[in-house]
């Protein structure tokens, strides 16, 4: 009898010790605090953002087809209809991540929903994606747009396999309350030399290349962004000028805007925004 009591006491102490050692179940208690969040790998949770860095969708010029595709897909997702993961690929500074953030705001405005949340996960944390998806799947009341900006993979990296399985290749599949939007400068997320190297060293080269390309195939929408013309560049500038009421003569504006793009060797939405910030500072105009 004494031995049994000692054994039970010993087992109880072990059970209590294991409970103290075991990590507590992760819970998200702040989903109503913001429309936007950032995933933090240290805690495995998401942190609310006070103000999402975004602009009105009407200020995104020269990308009407891209706007339409992503907006329709996101509205479907918000309305519990089928929606695709989306890969926004193309030239730098052409408005890929800006469009995702603006579409999120526009859908909230159009549908009056309080439950559509934008969650950003950094590229270096992609290996945590399966765990994050499992966590978000517990909150079916909410819809989550999961954004990874500037997603690409370099030689020697294998975390792309975690991404591929998490999107729709695993037995569990992607949660129905999550859609994944990624931006990248590469259409296939892999540099050409990496694919060619894999092809040259693989037992079956065609299968190796197919595996790399199949990662992009996990995205039902491929939305391309390309270098913009001078006309569209100026349209972007004029839209900002009208929105923020920056005082400047139209002819001077055109010449200054073109000079700005020439000195930077590029025309893009990012270059246009940098010009507007410079001009707003010089004219003492607040644009935030």
Who has greater pLDDT, 274 or 168? 274
Task: Evaluate if residue 216 carries a pLDDT over 60.
Answer: yes
**What mean pLDDT is predicted for residues 73-100?**
93
Query: How high is the pLDDT of residue 164?
Result: 76
Tokens found for residue 130: 């399966």
Query: How high is the pLDDT of residue 258?
Result: 92
For tokens 């030399």, what's the residue? 193
**What mean pLDDT is predicted for residues 28-54?**
92
Task: Evaluate if residue 204 carries a pLDDT over 50.
Answer: no
Cα separation, 147 vs 182, in Å, equals 6
At residue 227 the predicted structure's pLDDT band, cuts being 50, 70 and 90, is confident
Query: How high is the pLDDT of residue 199?
Result: 47
User: What percent of the chain is predicted at pLDDT more than 70?
Assistant: 78
Query: How high is the pLDDT of residue 93?
Result: 84
DSSP string, 95-146: SHHHHHHHHHHHHHHHH--S-EEEEE--GGGGGGHHHHHHHHTT-TTSEEEE
> In sequence order, which residues have a C-beta less than 8 Å from that of residue 190 and are 6 or more positions away?
152, 153, 160, 212, 215
For tokens 């995205």, what's the residue? 219
Query: How high is the pLDDT of residue 286?
Result: 87
**What mean pLDDT is predicted for residues 177-196?**
75
What sign results for the dihedral spanned by CA atoms 134, 139, 140, 142? negative
Q: What is the mean pLDDT of the chain?
A: 83
Query: How high is the pLDDT of residue 2?
Result: 57
Query: How high is the pLDDT of residue 186?
Result: 76
DSSP string, the chain: -HHHHHHHHHHHHHHHHHHHHSPPPP----TTS-SEEEEETTTTEEEE-SS-----GGG--S-HHHHHHHHHHHHHHHTTS----EEEEESTTSSHHHHHHHHHHHHHHHH--S-EEEEE--GGGGGGHHHHHHHHTT-TTSEEEEEESS----TT--THHHHHIIIIISSS---TTEEEEEEESSSSSS-HHHHHHHHHHSSSHHHHHHHHHHHHHT-SEEEEE-PPPHHHHHHHHHHHHHHHT----HHHHHHHHHHHHHHHT--SHHHHHHHHHHHHHHTT----
Task: Evaluate if residue 249 carries a pLDDT over 70.
Answer: yes
**What mean pLDDT is predicted for residues 229-257?**
90
Task: Evaluate if residue 22 carries a pLDDT over 60.
Answer: no
Query: How high is the pLDDT of residue 203?
Result: 46
Cα separation, 94 vs 216, in Å, equals 20
Who has greater pLDDT, 16 or 54? 54
Q: What is the pTM of this model?
A: 0.81
Query: How high is the pLDDT of residue 121?
Result: 95
């Amino acid at each position: 009898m004494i031995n049994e009591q000692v054994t039970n006491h010993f087992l109880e102490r072990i059970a209590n010790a294991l409970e103290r050692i075991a990590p507590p179940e992760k819970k998200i208690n702040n989903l109503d605090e913001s429309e936007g969040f950032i995933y933090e790998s240290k805690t495995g949770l998401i942190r609310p953002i006070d103000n999402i860095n975004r602009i009105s969708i009407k200020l995104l010029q020269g990308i009407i087809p891209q706007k339409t595709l992503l907006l329709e897909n996101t509205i479907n997702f918000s309305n519990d209809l089928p929606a695709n993961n989306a890969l926004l690929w193309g030239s730098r500074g052409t408005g890929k991540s800006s469009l995702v953030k603006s579409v999120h705001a526009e859908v909230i405005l159009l549908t009056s929903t309080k439950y559509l949340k934008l969650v950003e996960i950094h590229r270096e944390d992609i290996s945590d994606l399966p765990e994050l998806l499992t966590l978000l799947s517990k909150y079916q009341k909410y819809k989550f747009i999961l954004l990874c900006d500037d997603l690409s993979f370099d030689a020697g990296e294998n975390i792309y396999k975690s991404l591929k399985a998490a999107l729709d290749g695993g037995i569990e599949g992607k949660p129905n309350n999550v859609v994944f939007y990624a931006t990248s400068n590469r259409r296939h997320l892999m540099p050409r030399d990496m694919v060619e190297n894999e092809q040259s060293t693989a037992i079956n080269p065609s299968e190796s290349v197919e595996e790399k390309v199949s990662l992009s195939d996990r995205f039902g929408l491929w939305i391309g962004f390309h270098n913009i013309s001078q006309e569209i560049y100026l349209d972007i500038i004029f839209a900002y000028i009208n929105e923020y009421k920056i005082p400047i003569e139209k002819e001077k504006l055109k010449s200054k805007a073109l000079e700005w793009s020439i000195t930077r060797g590029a025309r893009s939405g990012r270059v246009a925004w940098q010009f507007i910030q410079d001009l707003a500072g010089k004219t003492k105009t607040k644009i935030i």
